[in-house]
């Protein structure tokens, strides 16, 4: 049969020569009209409408005339580009010296082009399949190693969402370490204000009491000491001060409290690292290592702890283990700490983190190495010294005597007010930190040139009418201003990886080599159920790295970021339209962070009505593990609700529990379509039950891709929902983040949406901040904004329909070979399908993992494994996959089914077969005849289907031993000695 | 032994905190100080100076105080970025409707980011090693297929330098087809003026007489017919006219002349293709298929011929063949047509062509497919119709009755002059074509929006004080304006590859899949002697795709391109400084084009002195094949000069021949250091001999990388030299182009440098144009400009020294294992080394290719093979490779030497061994035990050295059968039927 020949994806000849011919839907949606027709007819439908009618329950359908997302006009790709350019031009390119945890970054060009602008790096998923993810696993270990080495801590994880939420995690760890007994947490007043705001929010849910003040003196309060679980300091602090916290740490430890330290990796090149003066938990933002400010992010925060705390550490941890042949290999370690295992016992809900940005920061350290970083730290510190001495010479007074890169300037010494300085600086395009009426703050970074420094100094000289200085006046500082006892003396980054790749050629090859080990959307479908791995279009990615969007400090005045605020406003409005809700907050940096924010909003709503005692949260047992974890974090008690045999919610059980808890019912969390991949018929009934009992409904929008233009969370009966912009709205997953988890809420909840210290106007009912930056990871909002604007309302609806069709076509092809666990009364699934492999375990001891690893040999990324049911695979093709790709995947699945049959029937032994031995990397295929003790040929192992002859992605290691790695936990890079030994 | 740990490449702690810390030399140069010291000491030197003293003959050294390149100041990477931005801002972003073979391009974002901005595509070399280049070979076959299909010709090549030089090649083919007997070539006056200018230059060398006029009538002249070798037409012509040339073609054929047609691929979607009305040779510029105008290029020109002419076709041709296992595979076909074989019998010198741009155009066709292209063609034609009817309705007259996308407007009909129109259009940022005082030209393209069209129309309405039109006034045109007999009726692009990859996901995967088959600098050293494959830095590549440089028509007024002209001027000056010469022309688009231009300048110089009879060109037998080919093209007679046994020029022979030809001696061409990789001691003596006998010295600067800061072509005694900016000055090779081959000349030759019809001021002695665009491939001048400015004078010198050191270190490691063919009296080579493998052929029938293919198994791109000596490999590491990479390569070479020893000693059979069977792709490693009938293990084949366990680039096919492919020449993609069959 001739290969399928396809026309343009779904739109053909333009109706008018004046219509744009670069419309996005036809590029985004995989199947063209012919393929769509083929799939419909194979499923027995005459029209798309008939099919959708069967797939989506009629009761929840939004009437066609009423689908408000369809009012969103579509921009063509070039129109969007022009619009983004125009908006970018509305952001003013001021030079910011604001500091407060954010800096101007210098992205090494080789990293810019080959990491953040390279789909090989940005399209992969979280490395749950380590055999086809060794590249970014290695890079994340570099990140961990860099953090461990610079902080001098025992172990570090593979990134957190931002510095403020990392601090909140640190606080909760301290609390948990006291067995949740000691409720006081001391916060030094030098901690970043946005961190304090987030601590405040988080403290509330756990019932922790924050004490804010001068930590070194406050800690001596005996009453406090007995209840103290931890203390947090900032090193250097927000005003630039570098304090010696050794005594404080000793005092905290003697009170049985943990010391949490917010810090800065560049400063630690010069300063004695927290691990050497007693900190237990060290965290911060790694973004100044080559990640643009982006008006708030995304940035990789880091988190490092002392060895004794490692098994309580939140977030993902990469460890070294070995593969089936004994070869060293990386993989996610201590996975049992994840939410799907811990659920309501969890105290953290972090899932998607900031892998891509952590990788950028790690690559920056690889590129510069210890010498290069030293040079940068010297420069930054040196500039600060020169600035300080020069302005002091004209009468200013610097308030902090010790400093690394930040000084707080007392302007009263020269008889001026801070306003005078801000006026003078703004007039020449410079932003200083707004401290108070008497002080301004100035923070230096790698990007500042001598010319910038002169311009900055002359702002200060002009205000006192001193003569201006010129480049020639700049003098080298005499040595460092760090007191000897605070100076770093220990070595750092003495691992080979940080000392080899310093020429651009070597760096390029290293980046490319790691990328070559990883499967991404550039290779194949990634049909991970619940993850919606769709096209991350180039058009939506391009504006992201434009300087007008990337080089913006998150705390600049609004009038400098009009372009950004148009994007933010339009995205907020479009999301509200799509969900059917009233208002949006873009602040949460992941889906889980959105859940938490939404539940906090619900709590605030109840409180505001005098029902603060409502603390019961009903959650179906099928829910994603982050749901119960978020509920706990918001101070709610989780009560599970059962599912029926057909996968749907047990409405009886729901009703019983809602009524039982009617006096204390706070919320019900539900995923829709359910995590089993079906649209519940009774969702509205369920919501009514909750409302009738005084609760609010939280809708987990991870599966929103199935809904758009057909139904929406408001119609389903929800009050609040989060979306994963990194799923439904096409932000690339980046190998484990960034993510954005905005929440949309009904009108009655709008007043409670999160605030932020840097927000210009905040309602008084608003909850405190949930993220470090006022609008979260602003730069990547551009991606979803572009995605929505380019698809337009109709394209969005069409995408959802095709997502449903692709999944149902796949279900139909696989049925007869695999048992579909759930479908609706019409025999249809939603946008994903759950197949149950339990029978294979029974028949031949074949596990889900054996099928998954074998899929790797077929060049595919496996679907979601063992979730939400341990014996199942959850498969989600999305609308971006063509029929050809879907058929190829089904062919592979069916062929594996046949391979399994040979094992079941005994043609192949149960312990030595194609599935158990999978995957087969080239090094295994190359085993000698003597070593190849397998009852199948190498060709059967490597080329089981003909398409693999032309195109095959190879795993680089064989199956990885998880248990071995967890027993022998090693989370840093190989050292010089180890490499020499190997 | 512990792995090598290195510091930053060569600069350590900054001397001042005010010094930039992103200086380029330390990133560009591979070895750091420690590695440099190691290499020097292994070679027995105490200092770099001592080493350089031995490597470079003292007599030709430029005194340190006199090295003018060292005056070039260095910009850091960020400084260069800022400067490029500032210069870009000086280019005005006008919308050009100038046409004349150039259009505004719309680059599909997925192609922009993943091809032209992707080092996987831009860093590879010409696919001389097809087993590790199947990706771009396939893409180039797509290009050929696209051209064949759209032109309806039998065969097309893989690109030409530009449309004008392609036309010149067409003319010469016509001349050669008449056995160089018929000297007249008729050129229709509708041919592009820049094409005519280049034809004029080229005609001169071959003694062809151009006749310019209305071809359809002129051809009936009987006197002309008897001498006519060919006729060239433009379809549509420069004024937009689409003429029916069927009768002309018939008439030409009956006179025994060939028909050469310049055309436009987009127009051929709509117009009857030249292959269907009798054209024999069809050519043009493919750039409107998604390649930016770039103020002149680089662009991929195309060239297609009738079957009977295929073996005379210039340029590279990709064909399908099969590998050792019978698998289909692509490779360069009919290589015997290349210059190194044909030398002075060649009539074309094209070598580097425009592979990267051809690949972009091919990808554009893959992305849009026939339906998408049709839609674009309809739009462009439709806009032209709407424009024409609208301006005619207000009184203008359009001179051409037939058109595709271009109209010539007669402004006298409304009583105005062209100047009035140009003034009105320039005032609103629009460029029209300057035809003459009575006419302006307007050409439409894909980028024009309805808003643009309205604005354009209103320029015309305003001049006649008509009311302006608005978007709402635009009406769809009624059908096409192409007369039925000129309409295309045949199918096009009906191959699967153009009908599958239309979603962005599929396109991305296709681009990535092809890239994954190809080795580039992103993987490994490419030590191709004479090719200087060094770092193509990201910083130098970034400005290239900025719109302010890419979206500029080559014929805009100078005052719109001030930024470009600063770059051009600075690059010209820096190159003059580096070569020691007076003036530079950037016009030639490749090294070979530079040779030709330089020789034409020499001829013009002689002519100007009344010595036009001088036509002898002495060329050493070791010269690159393009040298004699270029000489022939410039109308010179080649006289070869011998080499001595030590590889140096035979000065006796030179002297004898110079004296023998003293009356007619025009030039001597010499490569320095020689193509054997040594600095000739006697180069100045040789030049003196030439000058004494009235000749000029042409220095082939392919090896300039060995010279900078040590000597220069002027000091060596030359009068003119070309440089390959794609070698010495770091323009990426793009898998076979683009290139830039500027020439620098001594003061006495400066007046003769090439002119161009679009140049504002031209000296009267200037030769005619050698390229279609006045400054050649302007956009990529940015790369070399950035490279020179970022290295600065000192960095340039340092680079040359390290290039010498790396080559000599490699020579020393390989000696004892391989025989070094040539070295100087001190035992040193220059920047490359020639090893002779003849002994292995004698001992065991092992050829150069066997070693080369085996190197592929070690993950390396082999060195230059069998050139300049058939039994040799020429190895050039360049300064960008680290000691570690060089050692890795040497380890591989030495291990292969040991494998060869086993064959020589009979341990392995002569016909079935690791070398003869190399390379070993995964599909071969996976052969069943029965099929693996080889006397070595799979591990020995695939993992002969330990480093391969961690990092190995795999060939995708086994050794390719060249002879089979040439016998069964197939140069298009597989058809639907073929694919179905396979
Ligand atoms: C149903 C569901 N809810 C919540 C989440 C958590 O989202 P995130 O990973 O962005 O925190 C996921 C992530 O996979 C999910 O599938
Ligand atoms: C010595 C020499 N001369 C001339 C050329 C031709 O240069 P180009 O390929 O740019 O036309 C080459 C190319 O490799 C060369 O090595
Ligand atoms: O074509 C060559 O580059 O030699």
Per-residue pLDDT reduced to its tens digit, B559-616: 999 999 999 999 999 999 999 999 999 999 999 999 999 999 999 999 999 999 999 9
For residue B839, is pLDDT > 80? yes
Identify which of B502, B884, B938 has the shortest CB distance to residue A8: B502
Chain B CB contacts of A951 below 8 Å: 513
Tell me if B430 sits within 8 A of B94, measured CB to CB: yes
CA distance B14 to chain A (A): 7
For residue B8, is pLDDT > 50? no
Q: Whose CA is nearest to atom 5 of ligand 2?
A: B591
- Which pairs with CB-CB distance under 8 Å and at least 24 residues apart come from B364-367? B364/B107, B364/B108, B364/B111, B364/B289, B364/B290, B364/B291, B365/B142, B365/B146, B365/B289, B365/B493, B365/B498, B366/B142, B366/B497, B366/B498, B366/B501, B366/B507, B366/B510, B367/B108, B367/B110, B367/B111, B367/B290, B367/B501, B367/B502, B367/B507
Find out whether the beta carbon of A722 lies less than 6 Å from any atom of ligand 1: no
Report the C-alpha gap between B460 and B391 in whole angstroms.
Answer: 7
Residue of B nearest to A374 (CA): B13
Q: Pick the more confident residue, B9 or B167.
A: B167
Q: Which pLDDT score, from 0 to 100, does residue A7 have?
A: 46
Tell me if B729 sits within 8 A of B784, measured CB to CB: yes
Count of alpha carbons within 13 Å of B230, Cβ hemisphere only?
A: 28
First to last CA, chain A: 51
Tell me if B298 sits within 8 A of B741, measured CB to CB: no
Phi, psi of B724, deg, nearest 5 = -100, 105
Q: Do B474 and A538 touch (CB under 8 A)?
A: no
Whether A541 has its CB under 8 Å from any CB of chain B: the answer is yes
Phi, psi of A539, deg, nearest 5 = -60, -35
CA of A801 to the centre of ligand 1 (A): 22
pLDDT band at B14 (very low <50, low <70, confident <90, very high): low
For residue B717, is pLDDT > 80? yes
Tell me if A410 sits within 8 A of A418, measured CB to CB: no
For residue B548, is pLDDT > 70? yes
Find out whether the beta carbon of A551 lies less than 6 Å from any atom of ligand 1: no
Identify which of A12, A28, A78 has the shortest CB distance to residue B106: A78
Report the C-alpha gap between A351 and A370 in whole angstroms.
Answer: 31
Q: What is the pLDDT of residues B29-68, one digit of tens each?
A: 999 999 999 999 999 999 999 999 999 999 999 887 677 7
Determine what percent of chain A is predicted with pLDDT higher than 70: 98
Strand partners, A865: A873
Report the C-alpha gap between A859 and B273 in whole angstroms.
Answer: 42
Which tokens in the block code for residue B39? 């290499």
Considering just the CA atoms, what is the radius of gyration of chain A in Å?
28
Tell me if A542 sits within 8 A of A557, measured CB to CB: no
Tell me if B603 sits within 8 A of B595, measured CB to CB: no
Nearest ligand 3 atom to the CA of B531 is: 3
Tell me if B381 sits within 8 A of B450, measured CB to CB: no
Report the C-alpha gap between A43 and B953 in whole angstroms.
Answer: 44
Identify which of B372, B496, B538 has the shortest CB distance to residue A8: B372
- The preferred substitution site among B124, B126, B593, B727 for testing ligand 3, maximizing ligand atoms within 8 Å of CB, is B126
pLDDT band at B335 (very low <50, low <70, confident <90, very high): confident
Nearest ligand 1 atom to the CA of A595 is: 4
How is residue A643 annotated by DSSP?
Answer: B
Find out whether the beta carbon of B874 lies less than 6 Å from any atom of ligand 3: no
Q: Which pLDDT score, from 0 to 100, does residue A13 have?
A: 52
Chain B CB contacts of A506 below 8 Å: 30, 882, 885
CA distance A525 to chain B (A): 9
Report the C-alpha gap between A515 and A120 in whole angstroms.
Answer: 6
Q: What is the pLDDT of residues A757-773, one digit of tens each?
A: 998 767 789 999 999 99
Q: Do B943 and A923 touch (CB under 8 A)?
A: yes
* DSSP, residue by residue, B371-404: HHHHHHHHHHHHHHHHHHHHHHHTT-EES-SS-S
Phi, psi of B329, deg, nearest 5 = -155, 150
Q: How far is CA A267 from CA A289, A488, A699, B82, in A?
A: 12, 10, 43, 27
Q: What is the pLDDT of residues A30-79, one digit of tens each?
A: 999 999 999 999 999 999 999 999 999 999 998 876 777 778 999 999 99
Report the C-alpha gap between A614 and A605 in whole angstroms.
Answer: 10
* DSSP, residue by residue, A389-437: HHHHHTT-EES-SS-SSEEEEESGGGT--HHHHHHHHHHTTEEEEE--S
Q: Do A32 and B942 touch (CB under 8 A)?
A: no
Strand partners, A91: A561
Phi, psi of A136, deg, nearest 5 = -75, -20
Whether A27 has its CB under 8 Å from any CB of chain B: the answer is yes
| Beta-sheet pairing, A616-620 with A637-641 | parallel
Q: Do B502 and A7 touch (CB under 8 A)?
A: yes
CA of A598 to the centre of ligand 1 (A): 14
* DSSP, residue by residue, B796-833: HHHHHHHHHHHHHHHHHHHBTTBEE----TTS---SSE
Judged by its nearest atom, the ligand closest to the C-alpha of residue A355 is 1
Average pLDDT, chain B: 95
CA distance A644 to chain B (A): 38
Tell me if A805 sits within 8 A of A681, measured CB to CB: no
Q: Which pLDDT score, from 0 to 100, does residue B637 have?
A: 97
Q: How far is CA B345 from CA B161, B175, B312, in A?
A: 21, 14, 12
Phi, psi of A630, deg, nearest 5 = -65, -40
Whether A980 has its CB under 8 Å from any CB of chain B: the answer is yes
Tell me if B796 sits within 8 A of B26, measured CB to CB: no
Report the C-alpha gap between B238 and B187 in whole angstroms.
Answer: 13
Q: Secondary structure of chain B: what % helix, strand, coil (to 5)?
A: 45, 15, 45
Find out whether the beta carbon of A728 lies less than 6 Å from any atom of ligand 1: no
Q: Which pLDDT score, from 0 to 100, does residue B341 have?
A: 78
Q: What is the pLDDT of residues A151-198, one digit of tens each?
A: 999 999 999 999 999 999 999 999 999 999 999 999 999 999 999 999
Which tokens in the block code for residue A737? 């983040």
Report the C-alpha gap between B555 and B97 in whole angstroms.
Answer: 11
Q: How many CB atoms lie within 10 A of CB B701?
A: 32
Residue of A nearest to B512 (CA): A522
Find out whether the beta carbon of A530 lies less than 6 Å from any atom of ligand 1: yes
The structure's pTM equals: 0.98
Q: Do A27 and B502 touch (CB under 8 A)?
A: yes
Residue of A nearest to B500 (CA): A6
Chain B CB contacts of A447 below 8 Å: 78
Q: Pick the more confident residue, A761 or B193.
A: B193
Nearest to B72 by CA among B681, B648, B577: B577
Q: How far is CA B924 from CA A892, A948, B180, B771, in A?
A: 22, 14, 50, 47
How is residue B708 annotated by DSSP?
Answer: T
Q: Which pLDDT score, from 0 to 100, does residue B552 have?
A: 98
Find out whether the beta carbon of B531 lies less than 6 Å from any atom of ligand 3: yes
Find out whether the beta carbon of B750 lies less than 6 Å from any atom of ligand 3: no
Report the C-alpha gap between A556 and A430 in whole angstroms.
Answer: 10
Return the ∠ at Cα B58 (arms to B53 and B64), rounded to 5°.
80
Strand partners, B670: B699
Q: Is the bond preceding residue A298 a cis peptide, omega within 30 degrees?
A: yes
Judged by its nearest atom, the ligand closest to the C-alpha of residue B591 is 2
Q: Whose CA is nearest to atom 2 of ligand 3?
A: B351
Whether B664 has its CB under 8 Å from any CB of chain A: the answer is no
At residue B872, the 3 state secondary structure works out as strand
CA distance A382 to chain B (A): 6
Report the C-alpha gap between A198 and A208 in whole angstroms.
Answer: 13
Q: Look at A367-371, B4-8, B209-213 and tell me which has the smallest mean pLDDT.
A: B4-8
Interface test with A, best of B7, B377, B503, B927 (most A CBs within 10 A): B503
Q: Whose CA is nearest to atom 7 of ligand 2?
A: B591
Judged by its nearest atom, the ligand closest to the C-alpha of residue A628 is 1
CA distance A930 to chain B (A): 10
For residue B2, is pLDDT > 70? no
First to last CA, chain B: 51
Q: Which pLDDT score, from 0 to 100, does residue B913 have?
A: 98
Find out whether the beta carbon of A588 lies less than 6 Å from any atom of ligand 1: no
Residues 422-451 of B with CB under 8 A from A: 446-447, 449-450
Phi, psi of A91, deg, nearest 5 = -85, 130
Q: Which pLDDT score, from 0 to 100, does residue B6 have?
A: 41
Q: Which pLDDT score, from 0 to 100, does residue B10 have?
A: 43
CA of A626 to the centre of ligand 1 (A): 7
Which tokens in the block code for residue B70? 């060292």
Find out whether the beta carbon of A120 lies less than 6 Å from any atom of ligand 1: no
Find out whether the beta carbon of A626 lies less than 6 Å from any atom of ligand 1: yes
Report the C-alpha gap between A509 and A501 in whole angstroms.
Answer: 9
For B6-13, what is the mean pLDDT? 46
Interface test with B, best of A493, A494, A503 (most B CBs within 10 A): A503
Residues of chain A with pLDDT under 70: 1-14, 65, 761
- The preferred substitution site among B124, B129, B353, B531 for testing ligand 3, maximizing ligand atoms within 8 Å of CB, is B531
Q: Do B499 and A6 touch (CB under 8 A)?
A: yes
Q: Which pLDDT score, from 0 to 100, does residue B885 have?
A: 98
Q: Pick the more confident residue, B480 or B755.
A: B755
Q: Which pLDDT score, from 0 to 100, does residue B5 have?
A: 36
- The preferred substitution site among B530, B594, B677, B728 for testing ligand 3, maximizing ligand atoms within 8 Å of CB, is B530
Nearest to B718 by CA among B699, B694, B744, B743: B699
Q: Whose CA is nearest to atom 1 of ligand 3?
A: B351
Interface test with A, best of B505, B517, B544, B886 (most A CBs within 10 A): B505
């Amino acid at each position: 049969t001739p290969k399928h020949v396809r026309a343009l994806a779904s739109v053909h000849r333009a109706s008018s020569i004046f219509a744009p011919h670069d419309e996005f839907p036809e590029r985004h949606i995989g199947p063209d009209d012919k393929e769509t027709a083929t799939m419909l007819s194979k499923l027995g439908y005459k029209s798309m409408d008939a099919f959708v009618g069967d797939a989506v329950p009629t009761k929840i359908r939004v009437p066609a005339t009423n689908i408000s997302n369809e009012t969103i006009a579509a921009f063509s790709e070039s129109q969007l580009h022009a619009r983004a350019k125009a908006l970018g031009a509305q952001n003013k390119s001021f030079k910011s010296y604001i500091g407060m945890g954010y800096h101007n970054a210098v992205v090494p060009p080789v990293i810019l082009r080959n990491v953040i602008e390279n789909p090989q790096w940005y399209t992969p998923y979280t490395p749950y399949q380590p055999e086809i993810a060794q590249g970014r696993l290695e890079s994340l270990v570099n990140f961990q190693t860099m953090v461990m080495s610079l902080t001098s801590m025992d172990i570090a994880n593979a990134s957190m969402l931002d510095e403020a939420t990392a601090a909140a995690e640190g606080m909760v760890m301290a609390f948990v370490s006291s067995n949740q007994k000691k409720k006081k947490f001391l916060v030094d007043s030098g901690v970043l204000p946005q961190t304090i705001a987030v601590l405040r929010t988080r403290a509330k849910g756990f019932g922790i009491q924050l004490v804010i003040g001068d930590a070194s003196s406050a800690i001596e309060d005996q009453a406090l000491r007995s209840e103290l679980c931890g203390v947090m300091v900032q090193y250097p602090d927000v005003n630039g001060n570098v304090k010696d916290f050794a005594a404080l740490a000793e005092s905290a430890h003697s009170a049985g409290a943990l010391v949490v330290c917010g810090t800065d990796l560049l400063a630690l090149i010069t300063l004695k690292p927290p691990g050497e003066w007693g900190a237990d938990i060290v965290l911060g933002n790694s973004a100044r290592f080559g990640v643009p400010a982006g008006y708030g992010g995304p940035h990789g925060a880091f988190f490092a702890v002392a060895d004794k705390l490692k098994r309580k550490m939140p977030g993902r941890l990469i460890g070294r283990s070995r593969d089936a042949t004994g070869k060293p290999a990386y993989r996610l370690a201590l996975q049992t700490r994840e939410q799907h295992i811990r659920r309501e016992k969890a105290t953290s809900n972090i899932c998607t983190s900031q892998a891509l940005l952590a990788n950028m920061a790690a690559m920056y350290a690889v590129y510069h190495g210890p010498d290069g970083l030293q040079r940068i730290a010297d420069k930054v510190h040196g500039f600060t010294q020169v600035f300080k001495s020069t302005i002091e010479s004209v009468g200013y007074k610097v308030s902090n005597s010790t400093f690394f890169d930040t000084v707080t300037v007392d302007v009263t010494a020269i008889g001026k007010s801070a306003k005078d300085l801000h006026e003078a600086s703004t007039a020449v395009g410079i932003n200083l930190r707004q401290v108070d009426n008497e002080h301004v703050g100035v923070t230096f970074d790698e990007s500042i040139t001598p010319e910038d420094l002169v311009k900055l100094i002359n702002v200060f000289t002009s205000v006192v009418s001193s003569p201006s200085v010129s480049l020639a006046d700049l003098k080298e500082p005499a040595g460092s201003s760090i007191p000897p006892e605070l100076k770093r003396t220990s070595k750092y980054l003495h691992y080979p990886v940080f000392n080899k790749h310093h020429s651009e050629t070597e760096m390029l090859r290293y980046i490319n080599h790691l990328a070559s080990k990883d499967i991404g959307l550039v290779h194949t479908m990634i049909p991970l159920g619940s993850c919606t791995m769709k096209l991350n279009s180039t058009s939506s990615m391009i504006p992201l790295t434009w300087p007008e969007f990337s080089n913006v400090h998150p705390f600049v005045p609004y009038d400098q970021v009009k372009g950004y605020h148009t994007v933010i406003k339009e995205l907020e409005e479009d999301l509200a339209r799509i969900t059917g809700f009233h208002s949006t907050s873009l602040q949460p940096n992941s889906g889980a962070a959105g859940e938490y924010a939404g539940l906090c909003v619900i709590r605030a709503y109840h409180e505001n009505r005098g029902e603060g005692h409502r603390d019961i949260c009903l959650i179906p047992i099928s829910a994603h593990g982050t749901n119960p974890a978020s509920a706990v974090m918001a101070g709610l008690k989780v009560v599970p609700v059962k599912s029926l045999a057909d996968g749907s919610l047990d409405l009886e059980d729901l009703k019983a529990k809602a009524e039982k808890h009617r006096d204390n019912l706070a919320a019900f969390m539900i995923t829709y379509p359910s995590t089993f991949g079906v649209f519940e018929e009774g969702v509205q009934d369920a919501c009514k039950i909750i409302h009738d009992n005084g609760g609010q409904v939280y809708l987990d929008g991870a599966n929103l891709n199935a809904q758009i233009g057909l139904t929406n969370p408001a119609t389903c009966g929800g009050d609040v929902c989060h979306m994963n912009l990194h799923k439904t709205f096409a932000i690339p997953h980046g190998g484990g983040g960034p993510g954005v988890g905005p929440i949309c809420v009904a009108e009655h909840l709008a007043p409670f949406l999160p605030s932020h210290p840097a927000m210009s106007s905040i309602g008084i009912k608003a909850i405190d901040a949930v993220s470090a930056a006022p609008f979260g990871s602003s730069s990547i909002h551009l991606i979803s904004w572009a995605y929505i604007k380019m698809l337009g309302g109709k394209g969005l609806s069409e995408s959802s329909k095709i997502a449903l069709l692709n999944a149902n076509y796949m279900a139909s092809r696989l049925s007869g070979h695999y048992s579909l666990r759930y479908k609706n009364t019409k025999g249809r699934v939603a946008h994903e399908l759950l197949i149950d492999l339990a029978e294979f375990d029974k028949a031949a001891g074949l596990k889900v993992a054996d099928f998954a690893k074998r899929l790797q040999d077929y060049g595919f990324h496996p679907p979601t494994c063992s979730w939400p049911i341990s014996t199942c695979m959850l498969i989600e093709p999305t609308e971006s996959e063509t029929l050809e790709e879907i058929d190829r995947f089904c062919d592979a699945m069916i062929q594996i089914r046949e391979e399994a049959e040979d094992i079941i029937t005994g043609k192949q032994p149960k312990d030595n077969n194609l599935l158990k031995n999978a995957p087969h990397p080239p090094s295994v295929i190359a085993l000698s005849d003597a070593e190849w003790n397998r009852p199948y040929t190498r060709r059967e192992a490597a080329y089981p289907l003909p398409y693999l002859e032309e195109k095959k992605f190879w795993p680089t290691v064989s199956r990885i031993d998880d248990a071995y790695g967890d027993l022998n936990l090693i989370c840093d890079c190989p050292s010089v000695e180890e490499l020499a030994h190997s």
